Copies of this chain bind each other. A is one copy, B any other.
Amino acid sequence: MRNLALGIDIGGTNTSFGLVNRRGEIVVQSRIKTVGHATVADYIEHLKNALDPVLDEAGRTNIIGAGVGAPNANYFTGEIINAANLLWKGVIPIAHLLKEALGMPVTVNNDANAATIGEMTYGAAKGMRDFIMVTLGTGVGSGFVANGQLIYGHDGLAGELGHVIAVRNGRPCGCGRKGCLETYASATGIVQTAREWLQQHDDETMLRSYGDALTARDIHLAGDAGDHAALAVFEQTGEVLGQILADMVAVTSPQAIIFFGGLAKAGKLIIGPTQHAFEENLLSIYRNKVALLPSALRDADAAILGASALVW
């Protein structure tokens, strides 16, 4: 009996994969770098080489197929289309390429949508019919669930919350426009905010010691240690994020907004200021009604589980 599904999460930096059983347990998982492959063909070959021993070990006849979460991936066409966070541009027929490489059926979804399905099936959104999942990673992704269904949109490309304009004529974005939410509320966005803060202030702060190597994780650790600059940077980030999320509530009126991804690991440091700005900016009919929650799934699990859930 085939009782395992392969889940593959293609992120801007890393690609995580795992075999998941019917109970939603990840029985084996690993990852490779997404970055550092000049062509898609190189990447597919590297991924196949990493997967082959895992699939052989589990027994290929036990595996039903693969579900893939990837940036700008289209559930309807199986393609990745002009993903701002990947080095490969244009249209990548990722479902077709992986089917050829792995010799099994492949279903593709937006990485944020895949995480949303994982959260809805196993996590903090279990049983919810209306919620928004926000992924704060290298970029900002999202999955909107309404009436118990993921919103795919006419062409399968709904849920690009990261490219809602947060600041008119604001920071340049990888998408070619200016002021997108993900230039402020992603891991890269918060580092930029920290750099600007350091330029505008002379204060002593833990952040200054990192120099050009400063990461979102460093800001998180400095915030945990009570560093005032790090707290100010989280405050600014949460303000932008909370304002935009308040606007999103006016569209879909969700029961909860769930935060996932590297920057979301900062927990209260990011959710606290976001909640403050969120409530301040909500239309009164929505105030104190929408819960802001951290993901209930560990690390990369949501994305792998969500991707694998596409298979069943």
Contact status B251-A154, CB under 8 Å: no
A251 to B143 alpha-carbon distance, docked (Å): 9
Contact of A160 among B157, B159, B250, B290 (CB under 8 A): B250
How many subunits of this chain does the assembly comprise? 2
**Does A163 make an interface contact (CB < 8 A)?**
yes
Q: Mark A127-150, 1 if CB is under 8 A from B, else 0.
A: 001100000000000101011010
Contact status B251-A251, CB under 8 Å: yes
Residues of B within 8 A of A284 (CB): 82, 175-176
Contact status B253-A163, CB under 8 Å: no
A147 to B161 alpha-carbon distance, docked (Å): 18
Q: How far apart are A261's CB and chain B's nearest CB, in angstroms?
A: 18
Q: How far apart are A169's CB and chain B's nearest CB, in angstroms?
A: 11
Contact status A157-B286, CB under 8 Å: yes
Contact of A129 with B147 at beta-carbon distance under 8 Å, contacts A247-B165, A251-B161, A284-B82 already known: no
Contact of A82 among B176, B285, B290 (CB under 8 A): B285
Q: Mark A225-263, 1 if CB is under 8 A from B, else 0.
A: 000000000000000000100111011111100000000
Residues of B within 8 A of A211 (CB): none
Contact status A164-B251, CB under 8 Å: yes
A289 to B157 alpha-carbon distance, docked (Å): 12
**Does A102 make an interface contact (CB < 8 A)?**
no
**Does A86 make an interface contact (CB < 8 A)?**
no
A160 to B290 alpha-carbon distance, docked (Å): 15
- New A-B pairs, 12, CB < 8 Å, besides A129-B154, A147-B151: A72-B285, A146-B147, A147-B149, A151-B151, A153-B254, A154-B255, A154-B289, A159-B251, A159-B253, A160-B250, A177-B281, A248-B251
Task: Give 6 closest A-B pairs by Cβ, nearest first.
Answer: A153-B253, A158-B253, A154-B255, A160-B250, A130-B154, A146-B151
